[in-house]
Structure 1
Amino acid sequence: MSLRLRHLCAALAVVLAATLAIPGAPATAATADRFGFAYVADPTVPVWTPLPAAYQFGSWAAGPVATGGKVAPGRFLVRFPNIALGSRGNAHVTAVARDGRFCQLVRWGSSGADEIVDVQCFRPGGIPADTPFTVLWTVSSGILPAGVGAYASAQVLSNVLAQSYNSAGAPVTAANVGVGIYALRFLAVGTAGALSGNVQVTAQQPNAQARRCKILRWGATGPDVLVYVACHDPATGALINSDFTASFHRERSVYASFGPPKYFGYLATPFVGPTNYSHPLGVGANGFGPTGVGTYTVKFPALHEKSTTAQVTAIGDDPSYCTIQSRWAQFGSDAAVPVSCFSNAGRPQDSEFSSTFSSSV
């Protein structure tokens, strides 16, 4: 066995052999129990290299930092220290690339006290390629009282709901309603009579085969949030069944916590009203505009405070997809997140999308 292959096997064994039976947080704990987010600026660094300090944060105590490293072409492991909880929880990843590269989840799990998220990235067509990306992992329990927002998540594996969380204490349902099409229902977390909040979706494949998943459409029935997810084969653009994660957050951060953080916001481009929300500025505070074919800038005023993170998910009925074009810019306390959207072939293409931004405080 070559030295490089031994290093790869050893690194992957950290995840594959991870224990998944670490005790959970108390059932009465507030959302989120444990979480971490990070930005991988250089996807070629060796394990375990500290990740950029200004773009990572988590529920671990002061001292350790999030680290990561490349283990194969396009394959990268992210280690969040001292927050391990096995395969529970929810994760998202968004590529930071202007050339059509994209990323997906492989798996996540515990290694001792640390939580490790395994990410695979590709160039158009599904060829593995080293790619910068943002990543988060979060796990929650308990029920939130009325008036403090809402959070819900789902992980679909082999076409069935593998795990879920709902801060309202109500069910989450998932159904495979057609090839590559899934219907999710997050009960009692929305706003009656109005579309509100933000949805994020990330493809997952435990064998690291290329997949992409997006929001097909999104609506509300009373206080329930209905999300249709579409997954595509990047090689052909055809619909294909896939594992994935999805989450909904309303008047809370993308990693589910609130107060802190008190600086977060989200914006979904096809929608108006409470799908454009900022804390502390309120409904309609964020801005959006095209900058070219398939390129956009989302402005989040007053939200760039300390460590920050962002996620983006495309919306629509074709195999197009969206990424963060480059690391977001800071103008005083304002953040400008550049977004790029692409056809299945990786060419710039206009698309609707759902974006979210959060600080650590």
Structure 2
Amino acid sequence: MRRGMPLTPARTVPDWRRRLDRLGARTMTAVGDWLAPRARAAPSEPRISALVAAVAVAGGVLPILVMAVTWATRPEPARPEPPCRAPRQPAGYVLADRPGEDRYRPGRQCNSAGAENTVERSGTGRYLVVLGRLGRAGGVAEVTAVTRDDRICTLLDWHPDGADELLRVNCFDRAGKPADSGFTARWHLGAGAGAAAYLRLGDPGRTSQTVDDEYSHNGRGGTNSADREDTGSYVVHFGSMDDVDGGTVKVTPVADAATVCEVQRWFAYPEGRNLAVRVRCRDVTGQPVDSRFAITFAAGPDAVHGGYLRADRPGEARYTPRGPFQLNRAGQASVVTRTGRGQYRVGLGGLPGTGDLQVTPYDTAASCVIGPDDDAVHVICHAPSGARADAGFLLIARR
């Protein structure tokens, strides 16, 4: 410090208060003179204190209010989709949820090749599903209508086109006329070893046939075959699976007309060392009709990554399916709740309801669809008359 220079006295609290009072008085006088020039009384200490308090409150409360308004009006975050689980075998699915749109990429889809799937609408109720880079000969395909309306969806065919796999889907109303509808469609080739098998019945009029082409697979290495017992009535045999207990079945009509195929039951058939599945096919009026169809059988966690259940108590208000005909890989119980005539809510007990869902009528002449809902799984069934009807069903949920 240089000698001879006077020391500046330290400012005390009263000093700073007097300075703030003078600054506040000058500011108020200047603002008042600008708004309404006239003589003004000297400001008092309470006025200055009130001004300082108001400024402090505004400075503290306003940011909080702005934050609260911003939080309240923020857009709802998008619900993340569960990751697409690519299986070991070639497979893909789509949820086609824009039935009137000409061409789009579904938001919910999966492709084991990591490619993109698209859906194209070629006419009323007629759709082409393109599974990118999954083009293979054979395999099995499945489809289920996803709508709140009374709709029936079938597969016309599926085949490779260059590098891609094409699935042709037709949807109809109860009168049998083409009608737009949402749907979920899945295709896969092979199912690994174990209790899994599928086939495509190519000639529905033959009394007996062995199916050993590329549209047939048996994880146990057994022979797949089918017998026609009567019009629209078939017994499918999956060889070397006579020791399998429970499991689930999915049947999809392969037809260019409105057709419904249901599973009546399935059971081990020791005399032929196979698993026998009874299938019934009907037209929209409920009358038996011969039809081609694709059928998939799976049992156990190695065959289905997700879960399945057999809902066989259609009139019961609420129940938990038990035994070998249900599977939940999350280790929890699934619950079926009847919410109205022909309407059911399925709680999958820890499994996400946003993967691929497939439903098949069980021991009934009714047809069933999946009701569109991101928060729950809904199954809606209709009698041939078009009225909602209580019915049993088989549900498969895959990731």
Provide the TM-score with structure 1 as the length reference: 0.77
Unaligned runs of 5+ in 1: 1-30, 330-335
Provide the TM-score with structure 2 as the length reference: 0.70
Matched position secondary structure for 2:373: coil
For 1:100, give the aligned amino acid: D
Aligned match of 2:377:
337
CA contact (8 A) 2:241 2:268 kept: no
Q: In 2 relative to 1, CA 265–341 (structure 1 residues): closer, same or farther, beyond 3 Å?
A: same
Shift of 1:224: 3.6
CA contact (8 A) 1:32 1:138 kept: no
Residue 58 (1) aligns with residue 107 (2): no
Higher helix share: 2
Matching of residues 60-209 of structure 1 within 5 Å: 60-61=113-114, 64-86=115-137, 88-140=138-190, 144=193, 149-159=194-204, 160=209, 161=211, 163-189=215-241, 191-192=243-244, 194=245, 196-205=246-255, 208-209=256-257
CA contact (8 A) 1:286 1:300 kept: yes
Matching of residues 231-310 of structure 1 within 5 Å: 231-234=281-284, 236-252=285-301, 261=305, 264-270=306-312, 272-281=322-331, 285-304=333-352, 308-310=355-357
Distance 1:104 1:199 in 2: 17
For 2:91, give the aligned amino acid: F
Unaligned runs of 5+ in 2: 1-86, 313-320
Q: In 2 relative to 1, CA 328–157 (structure 1 residues): closer, same or farther, beyond 3 Å?
A: farther
State the number of aligned residues. 296
Residue 321 (1) aligns with residue 367 (2): yes
Structure ID, larger Rg = 2
Aligned match of 1:40:
96
Matched position secondary structure for 1:127: coil
Q: Runs of at least 4 residues of structure 1 off by over 6 A?
A: none
Distance 1:138 1:313 in 2: 18
For 2:338, give the aligned amino acid: P
Matched position secondary structure for 2:381: strand
CA contact (8 A) 1:94 1:311 kept: yes
Q: In 2 relative to 1, CA 303–39 (structure 1 residues): closer, same or farther, beyond 3 Å?
A: same
Matched position secondary structure for 1:91: strand
Distance 1:190 1:111 in 2: 37
CA RMSD of aligned residues (A): 2.1
Shift of 1:252: 4.1
CA contact (8 A) 1:251 1:279 kept: no
Distance 2:296 2:371 in 1: 22
Tell me the alpha carbon deviations over residues 265-297 of structure 1, each in whole angstroms, 9 at most, x when there is no partner.
000012740111111417xx2111211100111
For 1:309, give the aligned amino acid: D
Shift of 1:197: 0.8
Aligned match of 1:16:
none
Matched position secondary structure for 1:128: coil
Shift of 1:227: 0.9
Residue 353 (1) aligns with residue 393 (2): yes
For 2:308, give the aligned amino acid: Y
Distance 1:183 1:356 in 2: 21
Matched position secondary structure for 1:209: coil
